Amino acid sequence: METKAHIEEHHVGYTTYILVWLALIVLTGITVWVSYLHFGVFNIVVALLIASIKASLVALYFMHLKFEDKTTWIFVLYPIVLLALLIGLTAVDVFFRTAP
């Protein structure tokens, strides 16, 4: 029996959390700074890339996803696939529609 399973769960240390927080603050600063530069279409790409790095840090460390089992990962990745389908297919519909 898994008598110690609860106790054996991975406990993230205080220091790790503070480092993640620091990274999130720095990345927020970078997002604001980058928005004043002009890359044309790539501004949105850079903004979303930084946001995704921040979101990954929150999920992996603050939400302990890094230490979760495969089942949990499927529960996380599947809705992201659905979200991509939702946005992707809507875009295909809207932008490839021919005028009647």
Partner 1 sequence: MEEIGIDVHAHHHVDPVVEYKASKLGMWLFLATELLLFGGLFAAYAIFRAKYPEMFHEEHKELDRTIGAINTVVLICSSLTMALGVASIQRGKKKLLSLFLLLTILFGIVFGINKYFEYGHKFEHHIYPSTSIFFALYFMMTGLHMLHVLAGVLVLTALLILSLKGKFSENYYTPIELGGLYWHLVDLIWIYLFPLLYLIS
Site for partner 1, rule CB under 8 A: 1-3, 5-7, 9, 11-14, 17-18, 20-21, 24-25, 28, 31-32, 35-38, 43-44, 47-48, 50-51, 54-55, 58-59, 61-63, 68, 71-72, 75-76, 78-80, 82-83, 86-87, 90-91, 94-95
Question: Based on CB atoms, which residue is closest to partner 1, 6 or 98?
Answer: 6
Q: How far is the CB of 12 from partner 1 (least distance, A)?
A: 6
Compute the distance between CA of residue 16 and CA of residue 13 in angstroms, rounded to an integer.
5
Question: Are 78 and 67 a contacting pair, CB within 8 Å?
Answer: no
Compute the distance between CA of residue 28 and CA of residue 61 in angstroms, rounded to an integer.
17
What is residue 39's DSSP assignment? -
